[in-house]
Amino acid sequence: MAEKRLMTGNEAVALGAYHAGVTFASAYPGTPSTEILESFSKLEGVYAEWAPNEKVALEAAIGACLGGVRSLAAMKHVGLNVAADPWFTAPYIGVSGGLVLVDADDPEMHSSQNEQDNRYYAKAAKVPMLEPADSQEAYDLIREAYEMSERFDTIVMFRMTTRVCHSRGLVEAREPGMHVPVPYEKDEVKRVMIPGHARLRHPVMVDRLAEMEEFANEFPYQRREMGEGDAVVVTSGVAYQYAREAFPGVSILKLAMTNPLPRKLISEFCEQFKQVYVVEELEPYLEESVAALGLWPRGKESIPRTGELNVDNVRDAFPELAKGNPSRGHGAHVEGLPARPPILCAGCPHRGIMYSLARQKAIIAGDIGCYTLSVLPPLSAHDCQVCMGASITMGHGIEKALEIASGESEEEGFSSHRVVSVLGDSTFFHSGVTGLMEMAYNRGRFTVVILDNRTTAMTGFQDHPGTGTTLQKEPTITVDIEMLARSLGIENVRVVDPYDLEECLAALQEEMNRDAPSVVISRRACVLRDKTLERIPYEVIGEECNECGLCMRIACPALVKRGDEIKILADTCTGCSVCAQVCKREAIMKSRSES
Amino acid sequence: MYGEATRSVVLAGVGGQGTITAANLLANALVAHGYDVKTSEVHGMAQRGGSVISMVRFGESVASPLVPLGEAEALIATELLETLRNLEYLVPGGKVIGSRTRVDPLPVLQGAVEYPADAEQRITELAPDSIIVDAAGIAAECGDARAANTVLLGILSPLLPVPEDEWLAVIDKLVPKKALEANRQAFLAGRELGGE
Ligand code: SF4
Ligand code: SF4
């Protein structure tokens, strides 16, 4: 027997895809999907890349599949919104080598701005969907996904969730398969979706749906677990694990292929029972279909529709099924503890510039990255944020609205000093460039601050087109943000050091008062990656400090107030000097004992 | 019956303290000993200094990767406030293995709320079977303060059926060379404190 290895779901997907003969993979990093590409890229003889965004990643994967190899694109749930355009037409043009989109939903929003249920994307696009329930299934089912893709001539959705992606489980790998690249053949009627061609293709998709449903009825990974009693639970994905544990001995229909749904299988299995239950995370996706079969399921009236499921809330939803595993009490639940939200690291380069920004009377349209954490008090440096890249475009709309509302024409320069958009370097490359074009083209006059920390920090320091290295750490071109901004028609572009508060403040004030669009690049490497820093900690000189608390407003985790005394934790301080610049009494100095 | 024989350990701390690495060591030791194992961990935003929690479950056949409330036989925690916060995962009478470390969360830094000054005392009252040590100090004596988690794993280790040589083999396999000796020592120092 092959050795079993402990793997996360993400690692298992990467290995399974590799063993299915996948040789091309593209992704933009996003929790909880990031490690799929990171582990795939380490495998022998594959091509793997970070794309600037998810739309690009999916399109590149479609191209690779047309080029004849088995290919994969991976993204988090909201990434598929960005990639929705190719997503809906990809099934029209079919595949040459197999093509799978690995989607990672984030119920509970551990690291996301919403908890949309992407299963509806598979249904809306008429794309077959597989949902693994643990690492072993992630490995097994991704291999099935490629067979299905080629068999039914369509892209396949492989839908994971945080607790599948980031749980480890034992995986037994099988003999690796091989995929021989399919020779390229021109087929424009199938692959060029002008209306006349697309009208021919859409009926093919509809017919295919019926075939795929037949297949889903027979698919061996749809598991019928016969138990005792007159109830049955229909479930899929990680929810299966909670149901299995919460309801020992109860019959379960565990679905691995959930689009198209195997209606015949569901009806035939469930009709043997008096009561059907559906246990699923987020939306009543399965429940709606089970109900449409006339099976009168119980589900979302008791199972939470928001947040994650777990054994406890599944058990509480249907206590009548949990008789074999009642709750036995637990350790103390302690009320009233201080919350511990995430916080910018000590010495984070975002701190200085966000502090400077927060002191302007500006509407700050923010974006997605570590810097979003500056929304929390005391920095409170974000007014709005919705999705990747929206800082610039929302800022543009806000500025125009303020002009409309005030009745002033854009020539009068009314509001140019009131709006600032803030986004990181990776986010800028992802979807900020088109926003900057919008601002320049449509005569916006606000200021865009690009926080260039030379990495994609939030997801774990991935490279991007501005870092000069690829996913494999090989040298490549570096996109020059200054030149890019200038080429879009923005004349006022400057670079500041976020560790220099005076420079930041002066630059912001000047640019915000200018009656023209401007870009301020706040450039310094993420402190967790910066190898050039001296890292000599600062200290508070007790005699000089009058405990005014000004320095505490920058919310550095190295600065603590114990009783009346303000102290710097030498182990945590990175010596960025921002607190010393904030202090009006020169009570914070570089520590001498260290040097 | 499913799940009946599943045992659980919860590891809690502050993002950046290395709970994922500790959970991974524990999980691999249990795999080496022949158990079915599942873990769950937190990546992404919370890792920037937020509350983080990793879970390790083992037995004959583990279903849920998440530990139900009241089912952890031990809570390993690298910070006092996080220890208090996660006591509810413990089976009544379960064991706390904690580090006497205080990391002020943002609301405390701001002065909006007080850090519970009596945290350690409350932990020992609420979970009488608890051992709280200066894990970072012990680890520093072993050569690397960052091996604090390994001290705590050492304290846990006599409670589990994995023998010492299997533990050390897993440490050898997973810990980078530079930190290996300190981690071995840290583990053994913890194991002694844990009663073996
Ligand atoms: S990881 Fe880097 S960018 Fe993110 S908060 Fe820490 S220092 Fe700032
Ligand atoms: S110098 Fe001040 S602001 Fe910078 S890391 Fe140290 S305590 Fe924090």
Instruction: Judge contact between A557 and B110, C-beta under 8 A.
Output: no
pLDDT at residue number B3: 41
Q: Which of A574, A577, A581 to mutate to test the pocket of ligand 2 (most atoms within 8 A of CB)?
A: A574
Query: Is A245–B64 a contact, with Cβ atoms under 8 angstroms apart?
Result: yes
CATH number at residue A58: 3.40.50.970
Atom 5 of ligand 1: nearest residue by CA position: A344
Closest-CA distance of chain B to residue A2, Å: 14
A197 with A233, same domain: the answer is no
- With contacts defined as CB-CB under 8 Å, which chain A residues touch B87? 331-334
**Can you give the pLDDT at residue B142?**
96
Radius of gyration (C-alpha) of chain B in whole angstroms: 16
Q: Does A333 touch chain B (CB under 8 A)?
A: yes
Among B15, B46, B104, the residue with its CB nearest the CB of A560 is B104
Q: In chain A, which stretches have pLDDT less than 50?
A: 415-416, 594-595
**Is A56 domain-assigned?**
yes
Residues lining ligand 2, judged by CB closer than 6 Å? A 346-347, 538, 556, 558-559, 568, 573-579
**To test ligand 1's pocket by mutation, which of A111, A453, A459, A462 has the most ligand atoms within 8 angstroms of CB?**
A453
Amino acid A593: pLDDT: 65
B11 three-class SS: strand
Is residue A532 in a domain? Answer: no
Q: ipTM of the assembly? A: 0.95
Q: Using the atom order of ligand 2, give the atom closest to the CA of residue A574.
A: 5
Domain limits for position A159: 4-218
Do A437 and A517 have their domain in common? Answer: yes
Q: What is the pLDDT of residue B54?
A: 97
Q: What's residue A562's pLDDT? A: 83
Residues A296 and A362 in one domain: no
If residue A48 lies in a helix (H) or strand (E), which one and from where to where?
Answer: strand A47-50
Burial A388-399 (b: 16+ CB within 10 A, else e): bbbbbbbbbebb
Tell me if B106 and A324 make a contact (CB, 8 A cut-off).
no
CA-nearest of A113, A124, A43 to A87 is A124
Per-residue pLDDT for B195 more than 90? Answer: no
The rounded distance, in Å, linking the Cα atoms of A230 and A107 is 31
Give residue A307's region: left, alpha or beta (phi > 0; psi -120 to 50).
left
Specify the ligand 2 atom closest to the Cα of A577: 1
Q: How far is B54 from chain A (nearest CA, A)?
A: 9
Q: Which residue has the higher pLDDT, A325 or B24?
A: B24
B66 to chain A: nearest residue by CA?
Answer: A310
Measured from the Cβ of residue A196, the count of other Cβ atoms closer than 10 Å reads 9
| Statement to judge: residues A159 and A130 lie in one domain | yes
CATH number at residue A255: 3.40.50.920
Residue A113 in contact with partner chain B when CB distance is under 8 A: no
DSSP-derived secondary structure letter, B2: T
Q: Cβ separation of B1 and A324 shorter than 8 Å?
A: yes
Are B58 and A46 within 8 A, CB to CB?
no
> A222 is written with which tokens?
């749809």
Whether the CB-CB separation of A88 and A14 falls below 8 Å is answered with no
- Across the A/B interface, how many CB contacts are shorter than 8 Å? 198
C-beta atoms surrounding A441 within 10 Å: 11
Is residue A109 located within the same domain as residue A241? no
The domains found in chain B, sorted by start residue, are 7-193 (3.40.920.10)
Can you give the pLDDT at residue A417? 56
Tell how far the Cα of A534 is from the centroid of ligand 2, in angstroms.
Answer: 13
Q: Is the backbone of residue B135 left (phi > 0), alpha (psi -120 to 50) or beta?
A: alpha
Q: Could you give the count of Cα atoms lying within 13 Å of A354 in the half-sphere of its Cβ?
A: 32
pLDDT bucket at B17, cuts 50 / 70 / 90 = confident
**Reported confidence tier of residue B179, pLDDT bands at 50, 70, 90:** very high
Helix (H, G, I), strand (E, B) or coil at A589: strand
A325 shares contact with chain B (CB less than 8 Å)? yes
AA letter at A191: R
Q: Which two tokens stand for residue A456?
A: 């994609």
Nearest-angstrom CA–CA distance, B174 and B35: 18
Residue count (chain B): 196
Atom of ligand 1 nearest to the CA of A344: 5
Confirm whether A372 is domain-assigned.
yes
**Residue spans of alpha helices (H) in A496-572:** 501-512
Closest to A517 measured CA to CA, from A538, A493, A498: A493
Q: How many CB atoms within 10 Å of residue A175? A: 6
Q: Which residues contact A523 (CB under 8 A, 6 or more apart)?
A: A452, A453, A454, A495, A496, A497, A498
Q: Are the CB atoms for A132 and A237 separated by under 8 Å?
A: yes
List of chain B residues whose C-beta atoms are within 8 Å of the C-beta of residue A379: none
With respect to residue A47, please indicate whether it lies within any of the assigned structural domains.
yes
Same domain, yes or no: A465 and A410: yes
Whether B100 and B80 have beta carbons less than 8 Å apart is answered as yes
Contact B133, B100 (CB under 8 A): yes
A167 close contact with B: CB closer than 8 A: yes
Residue A523's beta-bridge partner residues? A452
**What residues of B are in contact with residue A115 (Cβ under 8 Å)?**
none
Give residues with Cβ within 8 angstroms of B110, minimum separation 6. Answer: A377, A378, A552, A555
Å from CA of A559 to ligand 2 middle: 7
Tokens of B36: 């079915």
Whether the CB-CB separation of B139 and B148 falls below 8 Å is answered with yes
Q: What are phi and psi of A539, to 5 degrees?
A: -140, 155
User: What residues pair up with A256 in beta bridges, in sequence order?
Assistant: none
A contact residues 448-477, partner B, Cβ 8 Å cutoff:
458-460
The residue whose CB lies within 8 Å of the most ligand 2 atoms, and thus the one to mutate among A355, A572, A578, is A578
Q: Do A38 and A185 lie in a common domain?
A: yes
DSSP states of A272-284: TSSEEEEE-SSS-
Interval B98-110: pLDDT, tens: 999 999 999 998 7
Both A286 and A315 in one domain: the answer is: yes
* Residue A461 Cα distances to A38, A105, B21, angstroms: 11, 21, 18
Nearest atom in ligand 1 to A424's CA: 3
CB within 8 Å of A210: residues ≥ 6 apart: none
Q: How far is the CA of A538 from the centre of ligand 2 (A)?
A: 7
Q: Taking CA atoms, what residue in A is nearest to B109?
A: A560
d(CA A391, CA A447): 11
Residue A528 lies in a domain: no
At B51, list the tokens.
Answer: 């509350």
Residue A367 placed within a domain: yes
Are residues A21 and A88 both part of a single domain? yes
Query: CA A524, CA A496: separation in Å to the nearest integer?
Result: 9
Residue A453 near ligand 1, beta carbon < 6 Å = yes
Q: Is A346 in the pocket of ligand 1 (CB under 6 A)?
A: no
Of A170, A241, A341, the CB nearest to B36: A170
What integer is the mean pLDDT of B166-193?
Answer: 96
Find the helix packing angle between A9-19 and A135-152, rounded to 10°. 40
Q: Is A328 inside a domain boundary?
A: no
Indicate the DSSP class of residue A432: I
Same domain, A49 and A165: yes
Residue A339 lies in a domain: no
Helix and strand element counts for chain A (H, E): 21, 22
CA dist B145 and B127 (Å) reads 26
Same structural domain, A317 and A459: no
Residue matched to tokens 């099988």: A174
Percent composition of chain B: helix, strand, coil (DSSP 3-state, to 5): 45, 20, 35
| Closest CA of chain B from A357, distance in Å | 19
Same domain flag for A267 and A173: no
Nearest CA in chain A to B23: A168
Would you call B106 and A249 a contact, using CB atoms and an 8 Å cutoff?
A: no
CB atoms B48 and A333 under 8 Å: no
The minimal CB distance from A249 to the residues B1, B15, B105 is found for B1
Q: To the nearest whole angstrom, how far is the Cα of A484 from the nearest Cα of chain B?
A: 30
Chain B CB within 8 Å of residue A373 CB: yes
Report chain A residues whose CB lies below 8 A from the CB of B19: none
Q: Does A302 touch chain B (CB under 8 A)?
A: no
- Min Cα–Cα distance to chain A from B103, Å: 8
Contact A342 B28 (CB under 8 A): no
CA nearest to B86 within chain A: A333
Q: How confident is the model at residue B1 (pLDDT cuts 50, 70, 90)?
A: very low
Which of A350, A426, A454, A522 to probe ligand 1 with, by most ligand atoms within 8 A of CB? A350
pLDDT for the residue A460 = 92
How many domains in chain A? Answer: 4
